Amino acid sequence: MTKTMYDTILVPTDGSKVAEKAVEHAIDLAQKYDAKLHALYVVDTDAVDIGLGTEQVERIKAGKFGEMEELQNRAKKATNAVGEAAAEHGIEVIEDVAAGRPHRSIDEYAKKNDIDLIVMGSKGRSGVRRALLGSVTERTLRSTYIPVLVVDFREEDD
Amino acid sequence: MTQSDDSMTDEQPVLTDGGGDAHAVHENTDYLDHEVNIFKPSTPFMKDNLRMIFVLFAAWIIGVFGPVIASYFAEGFMTETTVLGGYPLNFFLTAIVSPLIALVLAAVYAWYRDRLDTKYGISHETEVEDDSEATVSADGGEVVSDESEPAETTTGDDK
Amino acid sequence: MAAELLMEASVVLANDYTNALEEGFKVIPALTVVLMLAVFLGVGWFFRVAAVDELWVAGRSIGPIENGMAIGANWMSAASYLGVAALVGTLGYFGLAYVVGWTTGYFILLIFMAAQFRRFGKYTAPDFVGDRFYSEKARAIAAFTTLVIAVVYAIGQGSGMGLMAEYILGVSYEVGVVVFMLVTIGYVALSGMLGTTKNMAIQYVILIVAFTGGLYAVGWTQGYSTVFPYLEFGAETAELSEIAAEAERQFIEPFAQGSLYAWVALAVSLILGTCGLPHVLVRFYTVDNERTARWSTVWGLLFICILYWGTAAYAVFGGLLYEDPASGADTGVTTGEVGSFMDMPGADADALVVLAAQLADLPEWLVGLVAAGAVAAALATTAGLFISASSAASHDIYTTLYNPDATQRQQVLVGRTTIVAVGLLVMLIALNPPALIGELVAMSFAIAASVFFPVFFLGLWWENATSEGAIAGMLTGIGISFVAILNDVLPMYVDIGGEGAVSPELAAILPGTSSALIGVPVVFLVIIAVSRVTQDPPEDVKRMVRQCHSPEPMSQQQTAEDVAATDGGQPADD
């Protein structure tokens, strides 16, 4: 079997509809390239800091994620969705969870697992909203050298 | 399923023994089956613990509120007596000694709890072993089995 | 009490003397503040997590000493740093109720709650209330109270910031409040993380050095004390007391400024408030086990005492210097504005710690260090309070009650919006605060004591406390503490005629700062009575409570709920 360009594909997911779209593309590519598919949920430590308190970030850092059921459940829900969608096409998914700043965690994970292609969704925010909330996809694009496929959530509207 | 207090009387002679018997008592107690009520401790461990708590609490009340109450009943004595080169007694006791008493009592309690743990054979070190891999797989498999393993095929986070 | 003090202040202002604090931009102190904040923020940024290496495997554990320092730093707010000395200086023996109330409460926390809370192991205080009392309503009430406590507590910090800004930056109080509050809001909203244990340990060290350094320097240069000021200011206390007596004020007489009842009520409120503050209790989630939780509390109390032992000394030194400044500067006493140091205007009182250093003619860099410490303390505390507020709003109200499928992004948005909203509200009120720093913070303690302490205590120690009981109790506590505070504070903002509180009779038995002496027993009765007549909690809740007390060590990866649900199974010991 000849080596293809994309042996291992990573689709980071946050459980949102935006990610769903990206998942469709990732599954299709995985089929065509006969690639392994990874689904990753990143627990955003900044979100945990503001949403649950800095103490909870420390717990995660101290390796006590196992105590934090609610966070685990969210992660599983998001990655399970990918698993189920892929199963319909007979593709196996490796589901995983990481914690940290999303774009960095994605990059680290991708490097560690020899990912050849990252497929991410984007909402295409612009202007003030983009400045305030940022875009994980955009930052990932910039921080990693691995090819990234950005699937825009907005339909073409022209 | 709460055990009533009369199960306690069987075990009371054991308390004075300490040592191995207390270990046995502890091993045999399912703490989740015993009611928690601060005025009705239902396990030997709880009894020991609460006894100390109430003793120290009484000492704390005296240490914290003693000076001000003494100042109420013996104002002249408290304000005119001076210590350490001029501190009025009430001032010194309240500003310096009361916090000190609370600190000492706190240390006493923490030390006592350590002793109690030893007596009952409880160790807190089991969870922080170096062979943490073993610990993880043990409870990852047993207790929170379906919750702690999100990866279905492989665990990409193993080092 | 506060109302009278501040009214005297406005009389004084009319006569052209403003305050003794030398205002005007000072380069070195300004740089010191910037440097201190840079260190805090820098450490927070540096330890910001890019990617967690091991999610499932316990990493380095934080020892009790480091945790203790974090607890100390948590406690080191503008109230401890500036406020207590202010209150002791102007109220004499009555002010010592603040010293006792804000230290000795940790013992109660230790014996009744620290370890148990650790075992409960959830995320926020409203989490505890909501899960323990199996009720969304209870959670909502707890979240609301958390927000109120954060706001009231933070107002005191804002006040401290404004005062210090006058000294360091030379701007008006109002501008100072705005500037520092905006800095705080900006930092926390954009990237919290000031509250990591490591960061807080560093904060403690810096702040205690600034505070104690000033104390030693004042004591040394004025000949008051040498190596251990805490035990050496006896003669000065006696001297100060005589000075006060000459001006017909009582410094050490125990009940001149407040009756025995008032003293005890205040101390009790502060002690029980210590055990009811959300942001204090959630710190225990970061320790490894109950033993560490206990020893951390002991160390924490030591570190807190190191600060608090110095507050009375600062009050005495400050008083003496106010009467007779070594620097020859003008004070309320030297200009004849007020009869004695105990009548000093509120702005001078709250700045007494820095004032003492200034009036002792210490070099500007040293006075600036002390002032910078106060700013840093206020800022760090405010940041922590804002996070407490944002997590209550984001996790407890928004996510759990309103939108369980909220994405992380949405949670962040809610959190940041809350921080900005709370920050602006605090800023506005701090521009014209209704009381001294210490009193404002004491009010937040009174709320925590009446609303949270009973449900925390009974929730942990009586497994049959029911949700109806808890809800009734919390609402009662809110009623009592809020009424007491509004009674004292409303006249500051709304003209209702007459002097002092809306109802002076009520204020005498239920002061805004001290309502817990009555409030807590009443709430206890309510909870017990209502719980008795309502259905017992479900069995799994009872088991959860028992698990909090069980001496069986919990594994790293468990909370009380986990263990209780799976029948207390535990991994092999050795």
Q: What is the pLDDT of residues C184-242, one digit of tens each?
A: 998 888 766 777 888 889 999 999 999 999 999 999 998 888 888 888 888 888 888 88
Bridge-based pairing state of the strands A117-122 and A148-152? parallel
Give the model's pLDDT for residue B135: 34
Give me the amino acid identity at C261: Y
Q: Count structural domains, chain C.
A: 1
Selecting from A44, A62, A99 the residue whose C-beta is nearest the C-beta of C58 gives A62
Q: Which comes out higher in pLDDT, residue A48 or C17?
A: A48
Q: Up-side HSE of residue C383: CA atoms within 13 Å toward CB?
A: 32
For residue C57, is it left (φ>0), alpha (ψ between -120 and 50) or beta? beta
Strand, coil or helix: C93 = helix
Chain B residue with CA closest to C103: the answer is B99
CA C354 and chain centroid, separation: 20
Give the model's pLDDT for residue A133: 58
- The answer to whether residue A91 scores a pLDDT higher than 50 is yes
> Of B40-54, B136-150, C325-339, C431-445, where does the model show the most confidence?
C431-445
Strands (E), chain A: 8-12, 36-44, 93-100, 117-122, 148-152
Residue of C408, C419, C544, C566 best to disrupt the A interface, most CBs of A under 10 A: C408
Strand, coil or helix: B145 = coil
Q: Count structural domains, chain B.
A: 1
> In C, which residues are within 8 Å of A133 by CB distance?
409, 412-413
CA angle in degrees (0–180, nearest 5) for C45-C47-C51: 110
Give the model's pLDDT for residue C207: 94
The DSSP code sequence of C274-293 is HTT-HHHHGGGGGSSSHHHH
Give the model's pLDDT for residue C496: 72
Helices (H), C462-568: 467-493, 504-509, 516-533, 539-549, 560-565
Q: Up-side HSE of residue B51: CA atoms within 13 Å toward CB?
A: 10
Q: What is the pLDDT of residues C28-66, one digit of tens each?
A: 889 999 998 888 888 877 777 778 878 888 777 788 999
Q: Is residue C180 very low, low, confident or very high in pLDDT (cuts 50, 70, 90)?
A: very high
- The answer to whether residue C1 scores a pLDDT higher than 60 is no
What angle separates helix C136-168 from helix C467-493, to the nearest 10 degrees? 30
Q: Is residue B13 very low, low, confident or very high in pLDDT (cuts 50, 70, 90)?
A: very low
Under 8 Å between Cβ of C74 and C239: no
The DSSP code sequence of B29-93 is --GGGS--BTTS--SHHHHHHHHHHHHHHHHHHHHHHHHHHHHHHSHHHHHH-EETTTEEHHHHI
d(CA C193, CA C351): 29
Give the model's pLDDT for residue C478: 97
**Mean of pLDDT over chain C:** 88
What residues of chain B, 35 to 54, have a C-beta less than 8 Å from chain C?
A: 35-38, 45-46, 53
Q: Is residue B5 very low, low, confident or very high in pLDDT (cuts 50, 70, 90)?
A: very low
**Domain for residue C177, yes or no?**
yes
B78 part of contact set with chain C, CB < 8 Å: yes
Strand, coil or helix: C124 = coil
Q: Is residue C283 very low, low, confident or very high in pLDDT (cuts 50, 70, 90)?
A: confident
pTM above 0.90, yes or no: no
Structure tokens at C146: 């958390």
Bridge-based pairing state of the strands A8-12 and A117-122? parallel
Burial class (CB in 10 A: 0-12, 13-18, 19+), A86: buried
Lowest-confidence region among B139-148, C201-210, C261-270, C364-373: B139-148
Under 8 Å between Cβ of C375 and C38: no
The CATH code of the domain that includes C511 is 1.20.1730.10
> For residues C457-488, b (16+ Cβ closer than 10 Å) or e, as one string?
bbbbbbbbbbbbbbbbbbebbbebbbbbbebb
B148 with A66: Cβ contact below 8 A: yes
Torsional sign, CA C356, C360, C361, C364: negative
The mean per-residue pLDDT over the stretch C70-93 comes to 93
A95 with B144: Cβ contact below 8 A: no
Q: Is residue C10 very low, low, confident or very high in pLDDT (cuts 50, 70, 90)?
A: very low
Q: Is residue B155 very low, low, confident or very high in pLDDT (cuts 50, 70, 90)?
A: very low
Structure tokens at A94: 């490796």
Neighbours of chain C (3+ CB pairs under 8 A): A, B
Structure tokens at B99: 């916090």
> In A, which residues are within 8 Å of B153 by CB distance?
92-95
Residue of C549, C566, C574 best to disrupt the B interface, most CBs of B under 10 A: C549
C523-526, long-range: CB within 8 Å, 24+ apart, which pairs?
C523/C450, C523/C451, C523/C454, C523/C473, C523/C474, C523/C476, C523/C477, C523/C480, C524/C454, C524/C458, C524/C473, C526/C469, C526/C472, C526/C473, C526/C476
Give the model's pLDDT for residue B8: 40
The mean per-residue pLDDT over the stretch C347-372 comes to 91
B156 with A112: Cβ contact below 8 A: yes
d(CA B87, CA C224): 13
A99 part of contact set with chain B, CB < 8 Å: no
Give the model's pLDDT for residue B134: 35
- The answer to whether residue C14 scores a pLDDT higher than 80 is no
Give the model's pLDDT for residue A132: 58
A62 part of contact set with chain B, CB < 8 Å: no
Give the model's pLDDT for residue A134: 64
d(CA C338, CA C316): 17
Under 8 Å between Cβ of C549 and C567: no
Under 8 Å between Cβ of A101 and C89: no
Q: Is residue A125 very low, low, confident or very high in pLDDT (cuts 50, 70, 90)?
A: low
**Domain for residue C17, yes or no?**
yes
- The answer to whether residue C141 scores a pLDDT higher than 90 is yes
C411 with A69: Cβ contact below 8 A: no
A95 part of contact set with chain B, CB < 8 Å: yes
Torsional sign, CA C240, C242, C248, C249: positive
B127 part of contact set with chain C, CB < 8 Å: yes
Lowest-confidence region among A127-141, C180-194, C417-431, C442-456: A127-141
Q: Up-side HSE of residue B21: CA atoms within 13 Å toward CB?
A: 10
Give the model's pLDDT for residue B4: 40
Give the model's pLDDT for residue C498: 65
Give the model's pLDDT for residue A126: 67
**Domain for residue C545, yes or no?**
no
CA angle in degrees (0–180, nearest 5) for A147-A151-A156: 140
Helices (H) and strands (E) in chain A, counts: 7, 5
User: Rounded to the nearest 5°, which phi and psi values hold at B83?
Assistant: -130, 160
Under 8 Å between Cβ of A45 and A71: no
B61 part of contact set with chain C, CB < 8 Å: no
d(CA C136, CA C402): 10
Selecting from C195, C412, C557 the residue whose C-beta is nearest the C-beta of A47 gives C412
Torsional sign, CA C119, C120, C121, C126: negative
Residues of chain B whose beta carbon is less than 8 angstroms from a beta carbon of chain A are 136, 139-140, 144, 147-148, 150-157
Structure tokens at C249: 């004020």
The domain containing residue C78 runs over which residues?
A: 2-46+62-537
Selecting from A49, A70, A100 the residue whose C-beta is nearest the C-beta of C192 gives A49
Q: Is residue B1 very low, low, confident or very high in pLDDT (cuts 50, 70, 90)?
A: very low
C421 part of contact set with chain A, CB < 8 Å: no
The mean per-residue pLDDT over the stretch A28-54 comes to 92
Structure tokens at C59: 């990493």
**Domain for residue B150, yes or no?**
no
> In B, which residues are within 8 Å of C58 by CB distance?
127-128, 132, 135
Distance to chain B for A9, nearest Cα, Å? 14
Neighbours of chain B (3+ CB pairs under 8 A): A, C
B128 with C288: Cβ contact below 8 A: yes
Chain A residue with CA closest to C59: the answer is A62
Neighbours of C159 (CB within 10 A): 33
Give the model's pLDDT for residue B10: 41
Say which residues have a Cβ less than 8 Å from residue C265's Cβ, sequence separation at least 6: C511, C514, C515, C516, C517, C518
C557 with B109: Cβ contact below 8 A: no
- Counting every residue written for chain A, the total comes to 158
The mean per-residue pLDDT over the stretch C462-475 comes to 95
Q: What is the pLDDT of residues B26-53, one digit of tens each?
A: 777 777 777 777 777 778 888 888 899 9
> For residues B128-156, b (16+ Cβ closer than 10 Å) or e, as one string?
eeeebeebbeebbeebbeebbbbbbeeeb
Neighbours of chain A (3+ CB pairs under 8 A): B, C
A96 with B155: Cβ contact below 8 A: yes
> For residues B3-23, b (16+ Cβ closer than 10 Å) or e, as one string?
eeeeebeebeeebeeeeebbe
Q: Is residue C566 very low, low, confident or very high in pLDDT (cuts 50, 70, 90)?
A: low
- The answer to whether residue A22 scores a pLDDT higher than 60 is yes
Under 8 Å between Cβ of C230 and B96: yes
B4 part of contact set with chain C, CB < 8 Å: no
Q: Is residue C269 very low, low, confident or very high in pLDDT (cuts 50, 70, 90)?
A: very high
**Domain for residue C557, yes or no?**
no
- The answer to whether residue C7 scores a pLDDT higher than 50 is no
Give the model's pLDDT for residue C2: 54
Selecting from C58, C545, C555 the residue whose C-beta is nearest the C-beta of B36 gives C545
- The answer to whether residue A119 scores a pLDDT higher than 80 is yes
B148 with A72: Cβ contact below 8 A: yes
**Domain for residue C52, yes or no?**
no
Neighbours of C341 (CB within 10 A): 29
A131 part of contact set with chain C, CB < 8 Å: no
A62 with C59: Cβ contact below 8 A: yes
Q: What does DSSP assign to residue A65?
A: G
B140 part of contact set with chain C, CB < 8 Å: yes
Chain C residue with CA closest to A41: the answer is C408
d(CA C377, CA C84): 14
What angle separates helix C539-549 from helix C437-461, to the nearest 10 degrees? 110
Distance to chain C for B142, nearest Cα, Å? 7
Give the model's pLDDT for residue C196: 84
The mean per-residue pLDDT over the stretch B102-117 comes to 94
d(CA C470, CA C454): 8
Give the model's pLDDT for residue B53: 93
**Domain for residue B14, yes or no?**
yes
A57 part of contact set with chain C, CB < 8 Å: yes
**3-class SS letters over C192-239:** CCCCCHHHHHHHHHHHHHHHHHHHHHHHHHCCCCCCCHHHHCHHHHHH
A69 part of contact set with chain C, CB < 8 Å: yes
Structure tokens at C538: 């479900």
Give the model's pLDDT for residue C406: 87
Torsional sign, CA B70, B71, B77, B81: positive
A51 with C412: Cβ contact below 8 A: yes
Say which residues have a Cβ less than 8 Å from residue C218's Cβ, sequence separation at least 6: C224, C314, C317, C321, C356, C357, C360, C362
Structure tokens at C16: 């052209």
Give the model's pLDDT for residue B149: 35
The domain containing residue B12 runs over which residues?
A: 6-124
> In A, which residues are within 8 Å of C186 by CB distance?
none
- Domain A8-152 homologous superfamily, CATH: HUPs (3.40.50.620)
The mean per-residue pLDDT over the stretch B122-151 comes to 41
Selecting from C48, C285, C390 the residue whose C-beta is nearest the C-beta of A50 gives C390
- Counting residues of chain C whose pLDDT is more than 70, the rounded percentage is 93
Q: Is residue C5 very low, low, confident or very high in pLDDT (cuts 50, 70, 90)?
A: low
A58 with C196: Cβ contact below 8 A: yes
> In C, which residues are within 8 Å of B71 by CB distance?
93, 254-255
Distance to chain B for C225, nearest Cα, Å? 12
Q: Which comes out higher in pLDDT, residue C310 or B126?
A: C310
Under 8 Å between Cβ of C303 and C315: no
Give me the amino acid identity at C79: A
Cα of first residue to Cα of last residue in chain A, in angstroms, is 43
Distance to chain A for B54, nearest Cα, Å? 31
A69 with C559: Cβ contact below 8 A: yes
Q: Which comes out higher in pLDDT, residue A20 or B134?
A: A20
A95 with B148: Cβ contact below 8 A: no
The mean per-residue pLDDT over the stretch A32-38 comes to 92
C410 part of contact set with chain A, CB < 8 Å: no
Give the model's pLDDT for residue C97: 95
The DSSP code sequence of C150-162 is HHHHHHHHHHHHH
> In C, which residues are within 8 Å of B159 by CB distance?
53-54, 57
- The answer to whether residue B152 scores a pLDDT higher than 70 is no
